Amino acid sequence: MLSRQSLARSSQTPLTLDQHPQCKSFHLNDILSLSTGFLMAREGVGAVQRLVAFIMECDASAEATALYAEKARACLQEQLPFLKDIPLEGLYAIYKYKMTDDNPYLSVWREMQQLRYGEEHYIVPLLRWERRKHSHKL
């Protein structure tokens, strides 16, 4: 589990809650749902819509998610670079076996990712993330 001071990381310095009170913590399953395209969020599609809405600072709706998912995914992957290191090959086979939440292999896979990367991660909205990146370039 991450401490409240351990936040989303970039190639520069890590964020802190004091520096960015606009940060919000999201569960890894919600993040993986947006990152991989496989629904793993504990609260279903609504959790993914809330994540996209937070990143893009828009309404949490199916329409907004469809419109902004790619931009939100790119921002998420910049903030959490470890996402690109998660091997998805095994995940495809797991979903081929059974595409429901009671899939025991999926439960084990998710638990392994949580042990490796932590359960909760702080995210910053896209505009604030862009400002932060720009200020580090100066």
Cα 73 to Cα 3, 81, 107: the distances in Å are 24, 11, 23
Residue carrying structure tokens 């793993």: 40
Measured distance CA(104)–CA(80) in Å, rounded? 27
- E strand or H helix that includes residue 128: helix 126-137
Return the pLDDT at 137.
67
C-alpha neighbours within 13 Å on the C-beta side of residue 104:
0
**How many Cβ atoms from other residues are within 10 Å of residue 133's Cβ?**
13
Q: What is the pLDDT of residues 70-119, one digit of tens each?
A: 999 999 999 999 999 998 888 888 888 877 778 889 989 999 999 999 99
Nearby residues of 81 by Cβ (< 8 Å), 6 or more positions away: 9, 10, 11
pLDDT digits (tens, 9 = 90+) for 9-60: 333 344 545 455 689 999 999 999 999 999 999 899 999 999 999 999 999 9
pLDDT of residue 133: 79
Q: Give all strands (DSSP E) within 1-138, no chain letters.
A: 24-27, 120-123
Looking at residue 10, its pLDDT comes to 37
Instruction: Please report the pLDDT score of residue 7 as a whole number.
Output: 38
Which has more pLDDT, 43 or 133?
43
